C-alpha cells in the first residue's frame, strides 16, 4: 500500500515539564500517591502527552496496582516477602542489613519507572488503577520520584 507524504502524521512541538515528589514511607509496603501525581498533571494544563515516573532508588520501586480493595496490595507485599526472603544465607550483599539485598531483588522484579499517557489533562489510568511506591526496606525512608511530562502543544 502506498502512503503519500500528505497522509503522514506531522510532528508537533512539545513541552518538557518535570517535578520532584518526596514520598515518606514507614517501612515495607505499598504507598499510594496517585492524587499527588494527578494534581501536578492537572496543574500543567497539558491536554495530551506522556508522563514518565522514575524513582531514584534501588531498594524501592513503582507499581500500578488495584486501588479498590486493600487486600490486593497486602497480598502483593506478602508474596514478595516469600519470593525474596530476608536472612537468606546465599546473599553476599549484607552490609546495609538483612532487608537490603531482598529489597534490591524486589526492585529488579518490579521496576523503577512507569509510563502513563495523558489525555484531556488527566492520566489515562483505568478505573481501579492507582500509582504506588513499593517500599522494600524495613525502616522509614524518604523516596524521591521524578515526574517528567512530554506534552504536545495543542494547535487551536
Q: Is the predicted pLDDT of residue 91 greater than 70, yes or no?
A: yes
Q: Please report the domains of the chain, with CATH numbers, ordered by start residue.
A: 17-152 (2.60.120.460)
Question: What's the confidence (pLDDT) of residue 85?
Answer: 96
The band of 90, judged by pLDDT with boundaries at 50, 70 and 90, is: very high
Q: Which pLDDT score, from 0 to 100, does residue 13 have?
A: 61
Instruction: Give pLDDT, residue 18.
Output: 96
User: pLDDT for 27-68, tens place per residue?
Assistant: 999 999 999 999 999 999 999 999 999 999 999 999 999 999
Q: What is the pTM of this model?
A: 0.89
3-state secondary structure labels for all residues of the chain: CCCCHHHCCCCCCEEEEEEEEEEEECCCEEEECHHHHHHHHHHHCCCEEEEEEEECCCCEEEEEEECCCHHHHHHHHHHHHHHCCCCCCCCCCCCCCCCHHHHHHHHHHHCCEEEEEEECCEECCCCCEEEEEEECCCCCEEEEEEEEEEEECCCC
Amino acid at each position: 500500500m502506498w502512503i503519500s507524504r500528505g497522509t503522514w502524521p506531522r510532528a508537533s512541538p512539545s513541552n518538557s515539564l518535570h517535578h520532584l515528589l518526596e514520598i515518606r514511607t514507614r517501612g515495607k509496603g505499598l504507598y499510594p500517591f496517585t492524587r499527588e501525581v494527578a494534581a501536578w498533571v492537572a496543574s500543567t494544563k497539558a491536554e495530551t502527552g506522556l508522563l514518565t515516573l522514575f524513582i531514584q532508588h534501588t531498594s524501592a520501586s513503582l507499581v500500578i496496582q488495584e486501588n479498590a480493595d486493600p487486600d490486593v496490595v497486602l497480598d502483593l507485599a506478602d508474596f514478595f516477602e516469600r519470593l525474596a526472603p530476608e536472612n537468606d544465607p546465599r546473599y553476599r550483599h549484607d552490609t546495609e542489613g538483612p532487608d537490603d539485598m531482598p529489597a534490591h531483588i524486589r526492585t529488579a522484579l518490579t521496576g523503577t519507572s512507569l509510563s502513563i499517557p495523558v489525555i484531556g489533562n488527566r492520566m489515562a489510568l483505568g478505573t481501579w488503577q492507582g500509582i504506588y511506591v513499593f517500599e522494600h526496606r524495613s525502616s522509614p525512608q524518604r523516596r524521591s520520584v521524578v515526574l517528567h511530562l512530554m506534552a504536545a502543544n495543542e494547535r487551536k
